[in-house]
Amino acid sequence: MSGLAQAQHTDGQPTLSERADALEEHMMHELEHIVTKSVLFGMADGKVEMESGPALMAKNPGKYMLMGEDPRLPKMPDKPTLIDYFRCRFASTSHLLQSATHALKGGHSEKVVLACLLHDIAVVSFIRCDHGYWGAQMIEPYVDEEVSWAIRAHQALRFFPDESAGYAYPDMYVKLFGPDYQPEPYIVEEYKRARNHKHYMTSRLICVNDIYSFDPNAKVNLDDFVDIIGRNFKQPKEGLGLDSSPSAHMWRTMLWPSRFL
Ligand SMILES: [Fe+2]
Ligand SMILES: [Fe+2]
């Protein structure tokens, strides 16, 4: 049923989206606190809107706004590590593990393996749009500059082949975006800058090891990377997100995505 047809549903029965809203409302009432959605969450449903604090309080008498962890989400430890985010906040890890396993078997450096392991963390936990930039920013304070630079640049490099490095434009992108898709000018400029950078090849190796045809039967295990993470990711003693790094707030947002403020 198209969105328009749903909106014009007039047989007296609730539409699909009305039923979803009612269910969500019901679930909110089951919770001890009022859980709010950031505006960005609604934009993904095509709505630019927000409910004010007083309106929510009026609908939920006797309850306060959620200002901590969301009981519906997997419980995180008091001092979370990167591994905890892998286990409790990343919606899917098989692509990351397959890419990193591929790089490990290819005999690449630990920095390359770590870059492959983390290259799409923004996609699986945070925001898809410009995921290379978000992902790089999230890890920047905790890794060598080579790793974060490579993750940022893979946003652009993956659209441009480099046959000498063994990277062709992915068939998958033709399927996903159509044969006429052209990257925006800022991506083209980023690519040109990256070409001559000293870490170009690290970023290119993310593309080369990016597995586009996922093998659901491939045996991959996060345990294979615990030591590499330990040696190359500076885990803050307060817990990742509870420290004072320039990107700690991004990790906190994943810890508590539905906090009111
Ligand atoms: Fe990516
Ligand atoms: Fe990827």
Please give the distance, rounded to the nearest whole angstrom, from the Cα atom of residue 37 to the centre of ligand 1.
26
Please give the distance, rounded to the nearest whole angstrom, from the Cα atom of residue 172 to the centre of ligand 1.
13
- Residue ranges of the chain whose pLDDT lies below 70: 1-12, 23-29, 213-216
What would the pLDDT profile of 206-229 be if each residue is shown by its tens digit? 999 998 766 667 789 999 999 999
Show the CA angle centred on residue 73, arms to residues 90 and 22, nearest 5°.
115
The number of the ligand nearest the C-alpha atom of 154 reads 1
Show the CA angle centred on residue 230, arms to residues 122 and 138, nearest 5°.
25
What would the pLDDT profile of 90-106 be if each residue is shown by its tens digit? 999 999 999 999 999 99
CA atoms within 13 A on the CB side of 110: 12
38 vs 49, 139, 185, 259, CA distance in Å? 9, 23, 30, 9
Please give the distance, rounded to the nearest whole angstrom, from the Cα atom of residue 121 to the centre of ligand 1.
9
Residue 2's pLDDT is 38
The number of the ligand nearest the C-alpha atom of 116 reads 2
Residue 154's pLDDT is 98
Residue 211's pLDDT is 81
Please give the distance, rounded to the nearest whole angstrom, from the Cα atom of residue 86 to the centre of ligand 2.
16
Please give the distance, rounded to the nearest whole angstrom, from the Cα atom of residue 204 to the centre of ligand 1.
12
Show the CA angle centred on residue 252, arms to residues 251 and 255, nearest 5°.
95
- Determine if the pTM surpasses 0.95: no
Please give the distance, rounded to the nearest whole angstrom, from the Cα atom of residue 206 to the centre of ligand 1.
8
Give just the sign of the alpha carbon dihedral 77, 81, 84, 88. positive
Bridge partners for 34 per DSSP: 65
The number of the ligand nearest the C-alpha atom of 158 reads 1
Residue 128: Cβ within 10 Å count? 11
**Do the beta carbons of residue 124 and residue 93 sit within 8 Å?**
yes
Please give the distance, rounded to the nearest whole angstrom, from the Cα atom of residue 154 to the centre of ligand 1.
7
Q: Alpha-carbon distance 16 to 135, whole Å? A: 35
Task: Give me the torsion for CA of 229, 234, 235, 238, rounded to 10°.
Answer: 180
Please give the distance, rounded to the nearest whole angstrom, from the Cα atom of residue 112 to the centre of ligand 1.
14
Please give the distance, rounded to the nearest whole angstrom, from the Cα atom of residue 132 to the centre of ligand 1.
6
Using a 10 angstrom Cβ sphere, with 0-12 exposed, 13-18 middle and 19 or more buried, the burial of residue 88 is middle
Q: 217: which residues sit within 8 A by CB, 6+ positions away?
A: none
